[in-house]
Structure 1
Amino acid sequence: MRKAPEPKKRANLRDVAKAAGVSVATVSRVLNEPKVVKKDTLEKVQAAIADLKFVPSAAARAINSGRTRFVGALVPTLDNAIFARFLAALERKLSDHQLSLIVATTEASLDIEAEKAQSLLDIGAEGLIITGATHNPTLIDLIERTMLPTIITSFFDPKNPLPTIGYDNAAAAQLGLQHLVELGHRNIAVVHGPVHDNDRTRARLAGITTFPFAGKLSTFETEISHQGGVDVAQHLGGLSAKPEAILCLSDVVALGVLLGLQAQNISVPDQISMVGVDDLPISSVTVPPLTSVHLPVSQMGERAADALANWIETNQTPKSEELGTRLIVRNSTKRF
């Protein structure tokens, strides 16, 4: 009976070093700091890696270098396209710094966020990206005790103890309201997501309520979903005195409102003007295309990646950075 061939042994660091005629330390430098290795040596080691089909072990690399080379990002959900755009830019830019990204969702719960931050730290996260300025004291204590490089996004506050890279949420909401006021609207409904544990929504509402406006302003809270928008649209459509315009503090909700109004044969913008906040890609192709306040989420992802990577490498805390917002006028608004 023929003896079954023994499975091929997976190549290790020593095998690569022997094949390339260099030390194990040199192979380690090629894997972790290729820029400091001479070109001819780099090419020999890379050729040996290819010939042996060597796949570096992340665990072994971490032991040898003291680096895991990954960071964690905590976001409320992946269902909202705005977070998907942010994370795509963040991961793309982190890869330029030879850093990987692990994403965890928090379900908009501060307790879950703190638990998942601890889990990321337990497996070796070298830094964190977190959303908004409001967090569980447990998370803040964790960051302070471990001195973990942590950047806040989607919010700008230069007075925050942690660096913030984001936008002025109050000013963004005011851009949408100002546009409607300039078009002559005086009865405006504001539709927003839950305010509990969401400082971005609270900041946008604060911007709305402090804006100098002599007309009627009504606010409606709903879940941040298309269905949440549809539900509000059904309520507004049943009013005897309908609003002249609707400002939605999220494009996700705005799309639901738009569909809900159309289901009731209420024309946008002929009967009601509409403005959103986010400027999601789909907002430019709705019928009619949605006027929206553009939030620079891709730019925010890139800036956050650069700032966190430099902080990890140099141990120098970055400064907070405000990114500008702008109004994108489309066909969902009309002079009253």
Structure 2
Amino acid sequence: MKPVSQALGAGSSRPRGVGIRAVAKKAGVSTATVSRFLNRPESVSAELGIRIRAIVDEVGYIPDASARALSSRRTRTIGAIIPTIDNAMFAQGLQALQRYLSSQNYLLLLATNEYDLDIELEQARNLVSRGIDGLLLRGDAHHDALRDLLRAKAIDFVNVGVYDPEKSYPSIGVDNEGAGRCIARHLIDLGHRSVGIVAAMQRNNDRAQARMRGVFSALQEAGAAPRPEWQMQVNYKLDEARQAARMLLQREDRPTALVCGNDVIAYGVMMEAQKLGFDVPGDLSVVGFDDLEWSRHLQPALTTIHMPTDEIWTRAGQYLVETLAGHPAMKHREIDFSLVVRDSSAPPKSV
């Protein structure tokens, strides 16, 4: 029996791919021109770019990422750390981010931290060790050691989903506290003074904390501060939201309206309310945050705060790409939210 190396043939254990010289020769341009197109497609004419791309696809050329990184000191890779992928809003945002980064010839590496700052720090170390050029972080609740790491390695980063111009760290997102005040004032204007809260878990979640600060401040100003027994925290899961609704709605002194930490929680609350025989919004008004796709299709359709998720994540990607290219980029960018009034909110029966 022949040794494997002989059976395969010398040097054939890893077939060599088509090189950049073959692409350049077939296109009738220099290797530098091909390289420039691959790194910055906008640097060549549209006609030439189409021709080079067609030849690249025809011959099956795949650039050597490690060689490109050595020559440019860049891997064209962006990392992102989010709490979980079990959240429709994060999935939507990541899709928008991926779409933008792909258009700029950047690769996205994703990690999750389960709202645990220690896990986030370890994941950041892993991403840095793999040569990321920049990093997107969800919110502004992070270990100081994480910021120290990124500073020491000269890695640009941006906090996504928050807007805080007072901080020295770049941020792109909405005024979450303002969004909380907005949704609470909607219920106040309808005449509700008995308002309960089914919030998202607050631990290491500065966005959820800010939303609830806004809700509480608006209710307190109206003399309608929610009773402690009307306040609950749940994970972003339908079954936990339904359990919370069951506990609140089976009370004799139940609230007439519930503010939910996001749309998924609101879905669970409405499902349980209807199962228990309550009319929404006749007996109970329900409101949420995020304006997920399902929110306008429910019966009744959900009143919520629209968060421009695609724009937030795309803008965050643009900030990193522009910063890495040495172009001036706006360090803090506020994206406007909006109140979307649908059928799940109405005046209480006593009004």
Deviates more, 1:161-170 or 1:202-211: 202-211
Q: Is the 8 A contact 2:183 2:215 kept in 1?
A: no
Q: Structure 1, residues 118-140: CA drift from partner, whole Å, max 9, x if none?
A: 11111111111111111012211
Q: Structure 1, residues 151-179: CA drift from partner, whole Å, max 9, x if none?
A: 10111100111111001111111111111
Cα distance 1:165–1:240, how it changes in 2: closer, same or farther (>3 A)?
same
Could you tell me which of 239, 252, 264 is aligned with 1:227? 239
Counterpart of 2:127 in structure 1 is 120
Cα distance 1:71–1:80, how it changes in 2: closer, same or farther (>3 A)?
same
**Aligned-residue offset at 1:28:** 2.3
Could you tell me which of 328, 331, 336 is aligned with 1:324? 336
Which runs of no fewer than 5 residues in structure 1 stay unpaired? none
Counterpart of 1:194 in structure 2 is 201
Q: Is the 8 A contact 1:32 1:65 kept in 2?
A: no
Deviates more, 1:56-65 or 1:273-282: 56-65
Q: Structure 1, residues 266-306: CA drift from partner, whole Å, max 9, x if none?
A: 11111111111111111111111110011111110121121
Cα distance 1:272–1:59, how it changes in 2: closer, same or farther (>3 A)?
same
Q: Is the 8 A contact 2:115 2:203 kept in 1?
A: no
In the alignment, residue 68 of structure 2 is paired with which amino acid?
Answer: R
1:73 lines up with 2:80 in the alignment: yes
Q: Secondary structure at the match of 1:210?
A: helix
Could you tell me which of 10, 18, 22 is aligned with 2:17? 10
In the alignment, residue 131 of structure 2 is paired with which amino acid?
Answer: G
Q: Distance in 2 between matches of 1:42 and 1:304?
A: 27
In the alignment, residue 52 of structure 1 is paired with which amino acid?
Answer: V
Could you tell me which of 103, 106, 112 is aligned with 2:113? 106
1:305 lines up with 2:317 in the alignment: yes
Q: Is the 8 A contact 1:250 1:277 kept in 2?
A: yes
Q: Is the 8 A contact 2:241 2:268 kept in 1?
A: yes
Q: Secondary structure at the match of 2:287?
A: strand
Deviates more, 1:321-330 or 1:24-33: 24-33
**Aligned-residue offset at 1:241:** 1.4
**Aligned-residue offset at 1:43:** 6.5
Could you tell me which of 328, 347, 350 is aligned with 1:335? 347
Q: Structure 1, residues 82-117: CA drift from partner, whole Å, max 9, x if none?
A: 111111111222223222212211111111111111
Could you tell me which of 195, 213, 222 is aligned with 1:213? 222
Counterparts of 1:290-301 in structure 2, within 5 Å, are 290-301=302-313
1:276 lines up with 2:293 in the alignment: no
Deviates more, 1:296-305 or 1:38-47: 38-47
In the alignment, residue 162 of structure 1 is paired with which amino acid?
Answer: Y
**Aligned-residue offset at 1:35:** 3.7
Q: Distance in 2 between matches of 1:210 and 1:216?
A: 8
Q: Distance in 2 between matches of 1:184 and 1:290?
A: 18
Counterpart of 2:3 in structure 1 is none
Q: Distance in 1 between matches of 2:211 and 2:101?
A: 30
TM-score normalised by structure 1 residue count: 0.92
Counterpart of 1:142 in structure 2 is 149
Deviates more, 1:218-227 or 1:172-181: 218-227
Counterpart of 2:59 in structure 1 is 52
TM-score normalised by structure 2 residue count: 0.88
**Aligned-residue offset at 1:221:** 1.2
Counterpart of 2:298 in structure 1 is 286
Q: Is the 8 A contact 1:311 1:318 kept in 2?
A: no
Q: Structure 1, residues 24-83: CA drift from partner, whole Å, max 9, x if none?
A: 434322322344446787676556534432222222322333321110111111111111
In the alignment, residue 314 of structure 1 is paired with which amino acid?
Answer: G
Q: Distance in 2 between matches of 1:92 and 1:133?
A: 24
Q: Secondary structure at the match of 1:314?
A: coil
**Aligned-residue offset at 1:319:** 2.1
Give the percent of matched residue pairs that are identical in Structure 1 and Structure 2: 35
